[in-house]
Structure 1
Amino acid sequence: MSELSIISRHAFTVLAGQLAVMAFGVTDTIVAGRHAQESLAALSIGSAVFISVYVALMGVLQALLPVWAEQRGAGAQGAIGASVRQSLYLWAVACVLGMAVLLSPGPILQWTEVPPQLRAEVRAYLAILAFGLPPALLFRIYSTLNQALGHPQLVTWLQVGSLALKVPLSIWFTFGGAGLAPQGAAGCAWATLAVNYGLLLVGWKMLRGHPMYAPLALWHPMERPDGAQLGRFMRLGLPAGLSILVEVTSFTLMALFIARQGALASAAHQIASNLAAVLYMVPLSLAIATSARVSYWRGAGDEQRAGATALKGFWLSALMGCALAATLSIARQPIASLYSTNAEVVALATSLLLWVAAYHVADALQTLCIFVLRSYRITLAPLLVYGVLLWGVGLYGGYRLAYHGLAGWGPLHSPAPFWAASAAALGVTALVFSALLLGVLSLQRHHSAQRD
């Protein structure tokens, strides 16, 4: 089987699972939107905070994929089990930090000037999700391990199956019924909490019983923390996690800054951001599949095949990004209508989706690049680029344009300036990352030629 076929099959399997997870968010957005405009606005703000925390912490654990894929390529299965046990120490620290933020969101809500009438519902939403964070992060370790082993289907089956539980629970908890009072946006959080623990339980049973995991010796007694190995994890995972934090907060903080424009703007932005997140699952899946194969070949000592695999993934991601952006541009109005029955919300969301399409093209390229760069242990440079461009140009530029004016334009009290500035910043980021990746691959080819 060709590398392109392996990447495509791996990515498609990951994508099916990721879309099932994203369907959680789509479900919550539609359910909250049909419950009340205020519920949708509270969901937009609460999910922005939760995603910022969760994805940053998840990024530290997801960054271990190249480590385990390289160990697989080198045939060191026993080392994978020991490495997974050490990753649980990172998980414990991540849970403490994440829950502390989610249980005390007051400073964040005050700093971003979230309207006072929405804060109580947002706090209730985040307090529930705080207790769903530990199982969610444990399941992320399970997912990353399976992706590194080249068996993402064992994750996808669980994610798709869990959707059958999430949808009815979100509807029931949000609208109430059968003796349960309506919970509003908090109902969506209760449904997520139940699903997270269900996924963890089934994943644990898989690790205990599936013969595929037996050679990894996962269930040996926990070793004491290995400072050297944890240091290697942190040198890879911490910059990766911070990079994801910058990337995601440049995206999610828009929701908090837009909240001061009122429920209409927040609701329309929630639709746009939800679609952007759904589209992101395609390049994310390709990036996971490509980086797993690149790391596998690097672990096997074949740098030439690793570089060729990286290029195939790059061009495939670029092609898919352009195709999805074009589809969204053409069908943006009927897509927005699926989310809300409010004509004003649909009209504003439709206008934002043109910017989402441009944002996605750049997102597809930079996502593939940054994942593959991690396979080559390059994490600090992307972090610096993210900080300057996504925070400095995208988020700050959108804020200035929306509320104070910039270079003779504005102030424009609309979500559109945030999306326009973010799309421009992400476009430059994609160009920088593409040049960096191509430079790394060229250097690796030169070194391989010298060794030969």
Structure 2
Amino acid sequence: MHQTTTFKEKIRLFMIILIPILITQVSMYAMNFFDTIMSGQAGASDLAGVAIGSSLWVPVQMAIVGILMAMSPIVAQLTGAKEEAKIPFTVQQGIYLAIGLGIIVTVVGLFLIDPILSLMDLESRVQHVAKYYILTIGTGMIPLFVYNLIRSYIDGLGHTRISMAIVLVSLPVNILLNYIFIFGKFGVPEFGGIGAGIASALTFLVNLILSIWIVHYVRPFRDHRIFHKLVKPSVSEWASQLRIGIPIGFSIFFEVSIFSAVTFMLSAYSTNTIAAHQAAINFASFLYMIPLSIAMSLTIAVGFEVGAKRFRDARTYSYMGILSGIVIAFLAGGIIYLLDDQVASLYSDQAEVISLTKQFLYYAIFFQFADAVGAPVQGILRGYKDVNITFWMSLVSYWLIGLPSGWLFANYTGLDAFGYWLGLIVGLSAGAITLFGRMYYLQHKLAKGAAIK
């Protein structure tokens, strides 16, 4: 990261940060994308099982990753304030925190998986795949969390191409492992959808090994000597990071888990409906990687400028990012509308699943516009370290507005299962509007304070 003086320089620097993050996020989600597609080729029950397993696993994963994302604005602001000497201690404590959170989630998950699945009215094969998909992917939880902490540190310094390189190496590894474990190749038993969990866990380990090697040996990261001399764990530093990370993590959890809650409610419908819902939500989430990448880039750029107290520059980056998200939303919506047949056919060759998937995809078009504003604004607020208000806004928008309205649409109109998706659109839109209002208020408050000084 470096200071920019003209709008053209800001666009150039923003794109330098954004493009590698976008490639990284798309590649990381491509792992889940290929898990879903390849599991679907193994059968509708395997696709539905992975859908249920993902609906339980992904919100937990994203919540913890969100907590660890606090490292990006912390490092960005330290860099902007020219206090880089504090970075090694901060990153080491973040690694300890990632390991601790991984252990806690693993232990709790082992006790809860059976009771939760027993509450769902699932076919026996679907329940079997869901359970062991979660158990196998869960073995890679600690490597995943530590990798994401290291990645947030790397990205916070503005070296987003490094994260991109790591994922571009690991993606083909994940596809190969999926092929081996899902379909039983090279003497390995055929695991079906469960094999996707095994492949993902091994890929998480590959990512961790690559990231440690880079931080230890490659400049400028090796100059921080992160792994040369480990310090003792500091509970006070953990608390400091958690104060920023927990609101971020739970904001993400509220947004992601509402999709899981819908999957849970759709378990009362047929296996084909669950499979179609998962296929459509998988593709919509794949497109969501674009506004999410914009959000992550904004966290770094805004955090750097806020650390240097250049609030006007931070605001310029903010609106640049939001405008980019809106443009992308029109493009993404057009892709879904024009290529609905091709997209649906990627996930299944069963006529009913394809037909239902196409109907779900039409609702996904409207997701794009809510995410075009909501996701970038969340990234902006993280750059300001303004995370507590967004936590409450996310809770209200997604769980007190979105999910109840979806239940009403599904049960008291003719929309049936599609009513839940309409509720998702309502919740995401409410979140985008309230978050934008918070950003506008905060920026004007800071601008006014700077003018007084």
Following the alignment from structure 2 to structure 1, what is the Cα–Cα distance between the partners of residues 77 and 438? 22
Following the alignment from structure 1 to structure 2, what is the Cα–Cα distance between the partners of residues 112 and 368? 35
The 5 A counterparts of 1:25-40 are 25-40=32-47
**Aligned match of 1:393:** 401
Q: Is 1:103–1:130's contact at 8 Å kept on the other side of the alignment?
A: no
Q: Is 1:95–1:133's contact at 8 Å kept on the other side of the alignment?
A: yes
Of 245, 257, 270, which aligns to 1:262?
270
Partner secondary structure for residue 26 of structure 1: helix
Residue by residue over 1:94-137, the C-alpha shift from the partner in whole angstroms, topping out at 9 and shown as x without a partner, is 10222124433122223344444422221111111111111111
1:149 maps to 2:151: no
Q: CA deviation at 1:220?
A: 4.3
Q: Is 2:106–2:138's contact at 8 Å kept on the other side of the alignment?
A: yes
Following the alignment from structure 1 to structure 2, what is the Cα–Cα distance between the partners of residues 45 and 179? 28
The 5 A counterparts of 1:18-417 are 18-104=25-111, 105-402=113-410, 405-406=411-412, 409-410=413-414, 412-414=415-417, 416-417=418-419
**Aligned match of 2:430:** 428
1:2 maps to 2:9: yes
Residue type of the partner of 1:299?
G
Q: Is 1:79–1:216's contact at 8 Å kept on the other side of the alignment?
A: no
Following the alignment from structure 2 to structure 1, what is the Cα–Cα distance between the partners of residues 48 and 55? 11
Q: CA deviation at 1:61?
A: 0.1
Residue by residue over 1:425-445, the C-alpha shift from the partner in whole angstroms, topping out at 9 and shown as x without a partner, is 111111111111112111121
Higher mean C-alpha deviation, range 251-260 or range 64-73: 251-260
How many correspondences in the alignment? 445
Residue by residue over 1:336-361, the C-alpha shift from the partner in whole angstroms, topping out at 9 and shown as x without a partner, is 12221111111111011111110121
Residue type of the partner of 1:440?
L
Of 419, 442, 446, which aligns to 2:444?
442
Identity %: 24
Following the alignment from structure 2 to structure 1, what is the Cα–Cα distance between the partners of residues 297 and 210? 24
Following the alignment from structure 2 to structure 1, what is the Cα–Cα distance between the partners of residues 385 and 275? 40
User: What is the TM-score with the length of structure 1 in the denominator?
Assistant: 0.94
User: What is the TM-score with the length of structure 2 in the denominator?
Assistant: 0.94
Residue type of the partner of 2:269?
Q
Q: Name the CA shift for 1:219/1:270 in 2 (closer, same or farther; >3 Å).
A: same
Residue type of the partner of 1:390?
Y
RMSD between superposed Cα atoms in Å: 1.6
Q: CA deviation at 1:254?
A: 1.6
Structure 1 consecutive aligned stretches of length 4 or more whose deviation exceeds 4 Å: none
Following the alignment from structure 1 to structure 2, what is the Cα–Cα distance between the partners of residues 177 and 85? 40
Q: Name the CA shift for 1:112/1:361 in 2 (closer, same or farther; >3 Å).
A: farther
Q: Is 2:297–2:379's contact at 8 Å kept on the other side of the alignment?
A: no
Higher mean C-alpha deviation, range 420-429 or range 301-310: 301-310
Q: CA deviation at 1:73?
A: 1.0
Gaps of 5+ in 2: 1-7
Residue type of the partner of 2:400?
G
